[in-house]
Amino acid sequence: VRIVILSDAVSVAEFAAEEMAAAISSKATSVLGLATGGTPVGAYRQLIELYKNRRLSFSEVTTFNLDEYIGLSPDHPASYRYFMNENLFRHIDVQIKSTHIPLGDVSDLIAECCNYEARIERAGGLDLQLLGIGTDGHIGFNEPGSSLAGRTRVKTLTEQTRRDNARYFSSLDEVPTSAITMGIGTILEAKRILLLATGSNKADAIRAAVEGPLTTSVPASALQLHSATVVVVDEAAAAKLDRHDYYRRSELEGRRLGLIR
Ligand code: PGA
């Protein structure tokens, strides 16, 4: 796992946007896996700027989001469909029919999960998956205890996750208790993975994910099994990494050898 430690959240956003833009530039029909939450918003802002400056077009891009709350309709202001429309899709030239987010308000949840997997497969799989990380180590809504081979399915949210996300709702009671999420098995099939984390509240989760044992108790630790994962963190989120200096030296070495830009 490549660990990139940058000074602040703005640099993390810039790095992520550049990686995504480079993926689209080299393959206009890229299939991107996208994430919601506070962390990726800065990267989405940068991508919108690149689009406005006519340096990037999303017209042939297909997207799949990681997850959606169960019980919220797509037009609910706290739904992830609403979040993506507001924070990215309506500002760029992506075709809305090419953007996919699980539907959390359907009667047949199992069919919705199976269909989502099938749609990812029909699109040719995910070229690049963007991830955040929960304070409990989750990726998508794969909470601690999730199978490391799981597919898109319904997961019950931990109380920690519900508290973390209560800021998007008027009260904790309104936060849904479950969600549809891509599984860790689905995520690990992405050709490349980019996990972003900023702020000191993510330092424990990042340490456990990167330097701890591979365990269902820290779902993000499954990324240790993936051969093309980049973890991009600011100094605050990197603060508890034992091998901090080594990661910094590895980046310098990679640049010296011309292996990374
Ligand atoms: P955050 O959420 O970006 O809002 O911190 C991350 C996550 O829960 O995966």
Ordered per-residue pLDDT tens for the chain, 261 residues: 999 999 999 999 999 999 999 999 999 999 999 999 999 999 999 999 999 998 899 999 999 999 999 999 999 999 999 999 999 999 999 999 999 999 999 999 999 999 999 999 999 999 999 999 999 999 999 999 999 999 999 999 999 999 999 999 999 999 999 999 999 999 999 999 999 999 999 999 999 999 999 999 999 999 999 999 999 999 999 999 999 999 999 999 999 999 998
pLDDT at 261: 81
CA 103 – ligand 1 centroid, Å: 20
For the four alpha carbons of 136, 218, 120 and 22, in that order, the dihedral sign comes to: positive
Structure tokens at 222: 């499954």
What sections of 27-108 are H helices per DSSP? 41-52, 80-87
Residues involved in catalysis = 67, 136, 138, 143
CA–CA distance, 131 with 51 (Å, rounded to integer): 22
- CA-nearest of 47, 3, 7 to 236 is 7
CA–CA distance, 232 with 7 (Å, rounded to integer): 11
Looking at ligand 1, which atom is closest to the CA of residue 37? Answer: 4
pLDDT at 28: 98
- Spatial neighbors of 29 by CB under 8 A, at least 6 apart, are 60, 61, 62
- Spatial neighbors of 170 by CB under 8 A, at least 6 apart, are none
User: Does ligand 1 have an atom closer than 6 angstroms to the CB of 134?
Assistant: yes
User: Does ligand 1 have an atom closer than 6 angstroms to the CB of 133?
Assistant: yes
CA 253 – ligand 1 centroid, Å: 31
User: Does ligand 1 have an atom closer than 6 angstroms to the CB of 39?
Assistant: yes
Residue indicated by tokens 């959240």: 9
CA–CA distance, 254 with 37 (Å, rounded to integer): 31
Q: Tell the residue nearest (CA) to atom 8 of ligand 1.
A: 134
CA 140 – ligand 1 centroid, Å: 9
- CA-nearest of 91, 7, 6 to 44 is 91
For the chain, helix (H) and strand (E) counts, in that order, are 9, 10
User: Does ligand 1 have an atom closer than 6 angstroms to the CB of 9?
Assistant: no
Sequence letter at residue 16? A
pLDDT at 63: 98
pTM for the whole thing?
0.97
For the four alpha carbons of 246, 252, 253 and 254, in that order, the dihedral sign comes to: positive
pLDDT at 54: 85
